[in-house]
């Protein structure tokens, strides 16, 4: 059976076996904001010729909430250029 095969391949853990956590070691609770915040940089893409790097990064304009914006950076240059939309 599939569950028997998986049990042999995967290590025994409470998440897989349905056991409750050991007393004194409650599960870690993460703030909901951690799941929905913008990454510092993400969605990287390399140009076809390999000379430019594109990515998204949050930016705040005029004190408004930060929004993801497109940046392009030549690989020889240290600072990226923002493309504002």
Residue 29 pLDDT class (50, 70, 90 cuts): confident
Residues 36-75 pLDDT 10s: 877 888 999 999 998 999 999 998 889 888 888 999 988 8
Provide the residue ranges of all domains of the chain, joining segments of one domain with +: 2-83
SS3 category, 32: coil
Locate 2 and state its tokens. 């599939």
Measured between alpha carbons, how far is 56 from 36 in angstroms, rounded to an integer?
A: 16
DSSP 48: T
Q: What is the pTM of this model?
A: 0.53
Sign of CA dihedral 60, 66, 68, 73: positive
């Amino acid at each position: 059976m599939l569950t028997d095969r998986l049990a042999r391949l995967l290590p025994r853990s409470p998440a897989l076996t349905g056991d409750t956590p050991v007393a004194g070691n409650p599960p870690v609770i993460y703030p909901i904001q951690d799941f929905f915040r913008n990454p510092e940089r993400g969605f990287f893409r390399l140009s076809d010729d390999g000379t430019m790097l594109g990515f998204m990064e949050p930016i705040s304009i005029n004190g408004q909430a930060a929004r993801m914006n497109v940046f392009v950076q030549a690989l020889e240059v240290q600072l990226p250029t923002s493309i504002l939309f």
